[in-house]
Each structure stands twice: as C-alpha cells, then as structure tokens.
Structure 1
C-alpha cells in the first residue's frame, strides 16, 4: 500500500493518497475552505485529477467551514475533471459543507449516484448555471455575513452558521435570505422580525470561550 502524500499549506491541511487499483485518488481536506484556501485547494485538486485514471474522491468530514469561494473552487474542479473524463465525488462531508451545498442546490452534483461521465450538452449547461449562480450570490452572502458580524459582534463562523440556520428554519434559499438582509439593512437597520430570528439562532449556538470567562472584578 502506498503512503499518502501531504500538501503542506499554511491555510489548509490537504492529504492526497496514491492512486488506488480502481484508478481513484482520495483527497482529504481538513480546516476551513475560504478565499485564502482556494489557491491551495485548486492546485491540489488539479494534481489529483491528473493522477487519477477514473476519478477523485473527496473526504470533507474534517472541513469545519466552507464559504462560496470554496464552493466555486469545488465546482470548477469538478468541471475540470468532467472535461477530462474523470469524476469528482464527495464521499463524506461535515455539516458546514453539507449545509452550504444543500442550500445552494449543488449537493447532487457531488453525490456518488450522479452520472458524472455524461458529457451531453445539457449536463455541461447545468454545470455552467450552477457555477454562475454560486459566483453571483457570493457578494450578497458575504455582505450579509458582514452585517451580522457588525450588528451582533459575531465571529465569521458564527455569522455564517446563523445565515445557514435561518435559511433552513424559514425554508428560504441562502442567496435570497442574504439579499433580503442586505436590503433591509440599507433601508435603515434590521427589522424586529429578523433580529428575533438571529437572536433565536444565537441562543442555540455553543458559547464561545470568551463568553464563558467571568467578568473582571471592578472592586
């Protein structure tokens, strides 16, 4: 059995296994898939596609966070693999990745049962639509996350979690929710209904270490 090779990147922990007898290369990704991690991710996935005879399998169970820039990189890598007659399949994923891909409607593109070797024109057109949609919705989502961070003093991770959970709780697509939040903020602040939803979600989030520390004695 061949030992896996690791990609030493400051922003991301990437491990690429040697090709299996079936022609698949497994890539394990740990850490956070944000814009700073995209260059390392793109390089690793292109190399994996080049080494694979049949496809690339992704293990994202250790990926704690993924934003739209990470999603764009995954979609681009899948398109790159498809054009070369390979598959790019997510074999396991943590909640953050699953929530994002489900909210954006891109999860089926990476599921094992999807016929990824179908090169007909409709398949490629669907790929382009999904990629463009993710790219177009990213600015609004990033703005909405920034508004939540500023308004409620949240970390980037907590702001993202709040957006995703409200999207799920209200059965509203993530980009639609982001557009609404940005629009209402520009019109003079978040309405009471939105504030109540955010507050309700925040109450379910684990307390940060800072929040658990006792206040300093003022005496």
Structure 2
C-alpha cells in the first residue's frame, strides 16, 4: 500500500508517494517524489497504517529528488513517531538537492535523525577533497539552493512550462533551470521568471544571455 500527498495547488506536478513493505517486524518505507507542503501529513498517514507489531521504521530516501523546508517537518513527524512508539527510526540514502539542504541546515547527511555528537554539535560533513575549487563549487550550489527555496512558486511554474513545452520530466526541467542559471551567471529566480514571462503571448522575451543559456541546457539534457 502507498500513500500520496495531495497536490497543494494547480502548479504542482509531483506528489510524494510512500511505498514500503514489512520485513518481519521492521517497516521499510520508500518515499518517491518531493518533500514539499503536505509531505508530513502523507508520512503521518503512512505511519498510522503500520501494523502494531512494528518494532523499527527505516526510510530509504534515495527516491526523493527535491526538498524545501517543509521536508524538515517530515523529519519531525518521523522522529516523533519513534519517540511515541519507542522504536528506532532512520532516514538514509539521501542524495542530490535534498542532501544539500541537510548540509545547509547542519544536519547529518548520513541520517538526519541520528543524535548529535556530545556537546550538541551536529556531525559535520566531510570537507571537499579537491581544494578551494571544489569548495567554491559547493558554496555556489548551496547559494542556488537558498534561491530555489525562496523562489519555489516561480520555479514551479517555470518547470511546468518546460515540461509542457519539451515533454521532459520534472527532474530534467530542474536541471535545465539550474544549468541555465550557472551558464548565464543569472540567479535561478531570474531564469525561472524569464521562462514564465516568455511563455505568455504578451510577455517580454528573456535576455539574450538567458535565452542562450536555456538553449544550451536544453540541448544537453533533452534528446
């Protein structure tokens, strides 16, 4: 059985679906989609459906492709469930943008539910292994993440336009926007706003550097 988050607005193109199975008295849950508004309620419903004999809950987060700050509430629900039922809970195998958000807020990227080290400090992420260039790239990516969270509504609309115009997936549309931002040296919010405005008949054409960056990104990510 799976649980799915309701679409909070007509601009949403992805839902969170939580699949899973029981392995003896251990629940293995597999969220797929995005941790956005409504995701905590979806998890709460799924946890409430678990058999009474459940003695452990493990979440494989590898299928989660985007997370905003609502995803932190998702983790709170899982943590509270473990405390109320006195059972171990984990959320592991984070990757991509959700992992970056965990880094940004100082949580353990291996398992953000893991208790912090003595003294209250979170387990630090390992340092970039290839010097200042790699560190600088990480800083740029985190800054883009901050912009993405703040500009989520306009980015959602831009992703929807790209998906409808080019028949691509939500993940691909996100990569196109992010790469166009990098190539043009323009903020992610600005790129998304240009895509949205350019889709209207009377909308202004995006700046030339943004158009060129979008064309390059689309050529790279679409067949």
With the shorter chain as reference, the TM-score category is 0.5 to 0.7
Please name the residue that 1:100 is paired with. Answer: 97
Which sections of structure 1, spanning at least 5 residues, go unmatched?
A: 1-5, 124-131, 208-219
> Could you say what secondary structure the match of 2:221 adopts?
coil
Conserved 8 A contact 2:92-2:110: yes
Task: Provide the rounded CA distance (Å) in 1 between the counterparts of 2:44 and 2:178.
Answer: 25
1:82 partnered with 2:79: yes
1:180 to 158, 179, 190: 190
Cα distance per residue 1:93-149 (max 9 Å; x no partner): 5xxxx322145x22563623657335x9998xxxxxxxx998654213213323544
> Could you say what secondary structure the match of 1:204 adopts?
helix
Cα distance per residue 1:40-69 (max 9 Å; x no partner): 445225656x97656x432244x3x6344x
Conserved 8 A contact 2:35-2:66: yes
Please name the residue that 1:66 is paired with. Answer: 65
Task: Provide the rounded CA distance (Å) in 2 between the counterparts of 1:78 and 1:34.
Answer: 10
2:20 to 3, 15, 18: 15
Task: Provide the rounded CA distance (Å) in 1 between the counterparts of 2:36 and 2:74.
Answer: 15
Task: Provide the rounded CA distance (Å) in 2 between the counterparts of 1:53 and 1:35.
Answer: 28
Task: Provide the rounded CA distance (Å) in 2 between the counterparts of 1:82 and 1:200.
Answer: 43
Conserved 8 A contact 1:25-1:52: yes
Please name the residue that 2:115 is paired with. Answer: 117
> Could you say what secondary structure the match of 1:28 adopts?
strand
Q: Size of the alignment, in residue pairs?
A: 173
The Cα RMSD (Å) is: 4.6
Task: Provide the rounded CA distance (Å) in 1 between the counterparts of 2:29 and 2:219.
Answer: 36
Please name the residue that 2:8 is paired with. Answer: none
Q: Give TM-score scaled by structure 1 length.
A: 0.53
Please name the residue that 1:199 is paired with. Answer: 215
How many angstroms does 1:78 deviate by?
0.7
Structure 2 vs 1, CA of residues 53 and 75 (structure 1 numbering), >3 Å: closer, same or farther?
A: farther
How many angstroms does 1:14 deviate by?
0.3
How many angstroms does 1:205 deviate by?
2.2
> Could you say what secondary structure the match of 1:66 adopts?
strand
Please name the residue that 1:26 is paired with. Answer: 28
How many angstroms does 1:189 deviate by?
2.6
Conserved 8 A contact 2:31-2:59: yes
Which sections of structure 2, spanning at least 5 residues, go unmatched?
A: 6-14, 123-145, 198-202
